[in-house]
Structure 1
Amino acid sequence: MIEQREDHREVGTSVELFAGGGGLAMALHEAGFRHLLLNEFAKRACETLRANQATKWLGTGHVPQGFDDPWPLIEGPVQDVDFTYLNGKVDVLAGGPPCQPFSLGGDHKGHEDERNMFPQFFRAVRETRPRAFICENVRGLLRPSFAPYFQYIVNELSMPFVERGDTSWEDHNEQIIAAKAVEPDGTDEAAQRYVVFVTPVNAADFGVPQVRNRVIIVGFRLDLGVDTEVWEKFRPRKTHSEASLNNELRDPRSAYWRRHKKVPAAVRKQVIARTPVVSPDDDELRFKPWRTLRDAVMGNPDAFPALPPLPQTGLIDYEEHPESPATNHIGWPGARVYTGHTPNLLDRPAKTVKAGVHGVPGGESVMMLDDGTHRYMTVRETARVMTFPDDWKPVDPRGEQMRQLGNAVPVLLGQRFAEAVSDVLRSVAESAGSEDESSRAA
Structure 2
Amino acid sequence: MTSAAPHQSILDNPFVLDLFAGPGGLDVAGHALDIPSLGIEWDKSACLTRYAAGLDTLHADVSAVRRDAFESLPPEINVLAGGPPCQTYSVAGHGAGRKNLNKVKEYIERLTAGESDESIDEDLKTLSDPRTALVLEPLRYAIQATRSPNREKRPYDVIVLEQVPAVEELWLHYAKVLQGAGLPDGTKYKVVVGRLDTETYGVPQKRSRAVLIARREGLAAPSLPVPTHRSYEAKEWNRRSEDEQASTGQAHQPTLDEGTAPGTEERGEIDDQGLQPWRSMGDVLAEPVGTHPGRATPFLVRSNYGSSGIPGRRGVRSDRQPAFTVTGRISRFVVFQHLDANIVYEGARFSMNEAGMLQSFPPDYPWSGKAQSQQVGNAVPPLFGARLLTAALGLPQLDPSALREPWQPATEEQQAKLRSQGCGAADACTDTCPRPEDQAPPPSTERPRKSNKNSSETSE
TM-score above 0.5? yes
Corresponding residue to 1:294 among 253, 271, 282: 282
Q: Give the corresponding residue for 1:42.
A: 43
Choose the corresponding residue for 1:355, options 328, 340, 355: 328
Distance 1:91 1:156, change over 3 A: same
- Alignment partner of 1:421 is 2:422: no
SS in 1 for 2:130: coil
Query: TM-score, normalised on structure 2?
Result: 0.59
Which residue in the other structure is 1:23 paired with?
A: 25
Counterpart contact for 2:258–2:318, Cα < 8 Å:
no
Task: Output the CA distance in 2 between the equivalents of 1:76 and 1:160.
Answer: 32
Deviation, structure 1 residue 160: 8.9
The equivalent of 1:241 in structure 2 is 230
Q: Counterpart of 1:434? A: none
Change (3 A) 1:14 1:242: closer
Match of 1:136 among 159, 162, 178: 162
> Which residue number in structure 1 is paired with residue 241 of structure 2?
none
- AA paired with 1:33? I
SS at match of 1:373: strand
Q: What is the aligned partner in structure 2 of residue 204 from structure 1?
A: 199
Cα deviation 1:49-85 (Å, max 9, x = unaligned) = 111113xxxxxxxxxxxxxxxx2x2212111113345
Measured in 1, the distance between the counterparts of 2:16 and 2:260 equals 46
Instruction: Report what 1:408 is aligned to.
Output: 379
1:155 partnered with 2:176:
yes
Aligned match of 2:142: 125
Q: Is the 8 A contact 1:122 1:157 kept in 2?
A: no
SS of the residue 2:210 aligns to: strand
- Paired letter, 1:115: R
User: Which residues of 2 match residues 171-210 of structure 1 at below 5 A?
Assistant: 189=186, 192-210=187-205
User: 1:308 and 1:203, CA in 2 relative to 1: closer, same or farther beyond 3 A?
Assistant: farther
- 1:241 aligned partner, one-letter code: R
Q: Secondary structure at the match of 1:342?
A: strand
Asked if 2 retains the 8 angstrom alpha-carbon contact of 1:96 and 1:135, the reply is: yes
Q: CA deviation at 1:207?
A: 0.6
1:368 alignment counterpart: 336
**What is the CA deviation profile of residues 19-40 of structure 1, one whole-angstrom value per residue up to 9, with x for unaligned ones?**
11100111122223112x3210
Q: Which amino acid aligns with 2:136?
A: P
Asked which structure has the greater RCO (Cα within 8 Å, sep 6+), the reply is 2
Letter in 1 for 2:336: M
Q: Could you tell me which amino acid in structure 1 is paired with residue 318 of structure 2?
A: L
Matched-pair contact (CA < 8 Å) for 1:205–1:239: yes
Letter of the 2:293 counterpart: L
Tell me how far 1:291 sits from its aligned partner. 0.8
Deviation at 1:127, TM superposition (A): 2.5
How far 1:344 moved relative to its partner?
Answer: 3.9
When residues 270 and 98 of structure 1 are mapped into structure 2, their CA distance, relative to the original with a 3 A threshold, is closer
**DSSP 3-state at the match of 1:209:** coil
CA distance in 1, matches of 2:162, 2:293: 30
Q: Deviations over 1:371-419 (max 9, x none)?
A: 522342111110000011123101133xx11101101110001001111
What SS does structure 2 have at the residue aligned with 1:195?
A: strand
Provide the residue aligned with 1:83 in structure 2: 70
Shift of 1:141: 2.1
Q: Is contact 1:132-1:421 (8 Å) kept?
A: yes
Deviation at residue 243 of structure 1 after TM alignment: 7.2
Distance in 2 separating the partners of 1:75 and 1:86 = 13
* Distance in 2 of aligned mates of 1:344 and 1:416: 26
Distance, in Å, in 2 between the alignment partners of 1:211 and 1:276 is 16
* SS of corresponding position for 1:223: coil
In 2, the alpha carbon distance for the partners of 1:78 and 1:418 equals 21
In structure 1, how many angstroms separate the alpha carbons of the residues matched to 2:287 and 2:273? 24
Structure 1 residue 360: Cα displacement: 4.2
What's 1:388 paired with?
A: 361
1:240·1:287 contact (CA, 8 Å) conserved in 2?
yes
Assess if the C-alpha contact under 8 Å between 2:159 and 2:214 holds in 1: yes
For the Cα contact (< 8 Å) 1:158–1:195, is it kept in 2? Answer: yes
Which of 293, 297, 309 is the aligned partner of 1:310? 293
Contact persistence 2:334–2:349 (CA under 8 A): yes
The change in CA–CA distance for 1:270 and 1:99 in structure 2 (over 3 A counts) is: closer
| Aligned pairs, number | 308
Aligned-residue offset at 1:18: 0.4
Distance change (3 Å), C-alpha of 1:41 and 1:157: farther
What's the offset of the Cα at 1:277?
A: 5.9
SS in structure 1 of the partner of residue 80 of structure 2: strand
Task: List gaps (5 residues or longer) in structure 1.
Answer: 1-9, 55-70, 164-187, 247-265, 301-305, 314-334, 426-442
2:90 matched to which residue of 1? Answer: 103
Provide the C-alpha distance between the structure 2 equivalents of 1:40 and 1:88, rounded to a whole number of angstroms: 19
CA RMSD of aligned residues (A): 3.6
Taking structure 1 as reference, are residues 312 and 298 closer, same or farther at Cα in structure 2, changes over 3 Å only? closer
1:239·1:287 contact (CA, 8 Å) conserved in 2? yes
1:275 to 263, 274, 283: 263
Tell me how far 1:308 sits from its aligned partner: 8.6
Q: Which residue of 1 aligns with 2:445?
A: none
How far apart, CA to CA, are the structure 2 residues paired with 1:124 and 1:45?
22
Contact 1:367–1:376 (8 Å) recurs in 2: yes
Q: Deviations over 1:117-168 (max 9, x none)?
A: 12211111123321101111011224xxxx4x454333355579656xxxxx
Q: CA deviation at 1:349?
A: 0.4
What is the rounded CA distance, in whole Å, between the counterparts of 1:153 and 1:102 in structure 2? Answer: 16
On the 8 A contact 1:345/1:368 being kept in 2, the answer is no
Percent of aligned positions with the same letter in both sequences? 26
Q: Secondary structure at the match of 1:39?
A: strand
Corresponding position of 1:166: none
